Amino acid sequence: MRAAVVKTFGGPETVEIVETEVPEPGARQVRIKVAAAALNPVDAGVRGGFFGGAGKQIGFGWDVAGTVDATGVATAWSVGDEVVALDPGMVRPLGTHAEYVVVETDAVATAPATVDAVHASTLPLNALTAEQALELLELAKGQSLLVTGAAGAVGGFAIQLAVARGLSVTALAREDDEELVRSLGAAHFASGTAEAAAFDGVLDAANLGEAALRWVRDGGAYVGVRPGGHPDSVRGIRTTAVAVTPDGARLAKLASLVDEGVLTLRVADTYPLTDAAKAHARLEEGGVRGRLVLVP
């Protein structure tokens, strides 16, 4: 099978397509024939060596949508099931940017029925990150939330999931993204700055860090999306960061929210797997609204 990997860290030109053996599922694993796999900023970090692994072949991709085509023992999935899954890993020989991928059975969920595989592949990583971040914030219905980087993939899901929880959401984004974030459900909009110490919580999808704490009230909560990168607590603010983990049961609920029209899946463009380097180059340019998706 073909897979996108990096063997020497650097820019988009370092992305290679290699031929390798089709992986076999073990106990409590399934093999998915990949129909689509989203490209995320974490993949650019892998390519640049941010997570280490010098001298190794490292695969790209955490998101996948496709069809179960083989199973190990002790799994409830069957060949032919249309699924989505999160397959995380910073330094490993192969990821989801391949023709086939093996994932843990508990990471898998039935794909949304109302969208195609390309759109479905944008759900797992970013929606689970947003959902798990909101859980860490522990805000109650009626409380106020500021989402930074609100026009991005995590930020967009965070707005919609927070609104569904009954939170009052303010979106912090560029001025030309106001219409977008309001369409996702944000009741209020801020560009460049927001009212100091006004919010019960901040979900910092833009990775502003310490600078974002000025928008949290005393005793409020801050959650970042860079594991280990959250700022120290001040004014009694509880600070932490989400380290997204696979959760097939939660992913299934998120998929049902897609089918109910609660969550919007955004695709910026698609590329053949063989053009993975071009997709990386487009990601590097910035300003992408929605996800770039690779199709084997």
Domains and CATH numbers, the chain: 2-123+265-295 (3.90.180.10), 126-241 (3.40.50.720)
Give me the chain's average pLDDT, please: 97
The dihedral through the CA atoms of 286, 160, 229, 210 has a sign that is positive
Q: Would the pLDDT of 195 be above 80? A: no
Per-residue model confidence as pLDDT tens digits over 85-134: 999 999 999 999 999 999 999 999 999 999 999 999 999 999 999 999 99
Distance between CA atoms of 205 and 155, rounded to whole angstroms? 6
Q: Is the pLDDT at 228 greater than 90, yes or no?
A: no
Please tell me the predicted confidence (pLDDT) of residue 258. 98
Nearest residue to 68 via CA among 108, 95, 37: 108
Burial class (CB in 10 A: 0-12, 13-18, 19+), 169: buried
Q: Tens digit of pLDDT for each residue in 2-15?
A: 999 999 999 999 99
Output the pLDDT for position 207: 95
Q: How far is CA 139 from CA 162, 169, 202, 221, in A?
A: 9, 12, 10, 8
Among 108-112, 137-141, 187-191, 196-200, the minimum mean pLDDT is found in 196-200
Q: Which residue type is seen at 156?
A: G
Compute the distance between CA of residue 1 and CA of residue 188 in angstroms, rounded to an integer.
48
pLDDT at 245 (0 to 100): 97
Structure tokens at 220: 């409020």
Can you read off the two tokens belonging to residue 177?
């993204």
| Contact present, 72 and 45 (Cβ < 8 Å) | no
Distance CA 90, CA 88 (A): 7
Handedness of CA 24, 29, 30, 35 (dihedral sign): negative
The set of long-range contacts for 23-26, using a CB threshold of 8 Å and a minimum separation of 24, is 23/94, 23/100, 23/101, 23/102, 24/70, 24/102, 25/70, 25/71, 25/72, 25/102, 26/72, 26/102
48, exposed or middle or buried, with CB in 10 Å at 0-12, 13-18, 19+?
middle
Does position 266 have pLDDT exceeding 90, yes or no?
Answer: yes
Q: Output the pTM of the full model.
A: 0.96
Residue 193 scores a pLDDT above 90: no
Check whether 196 has a pLDDT greater than 90. no
pLDDT at 71: 97
Percent of the chain predicted with pLDDT > 70: 100
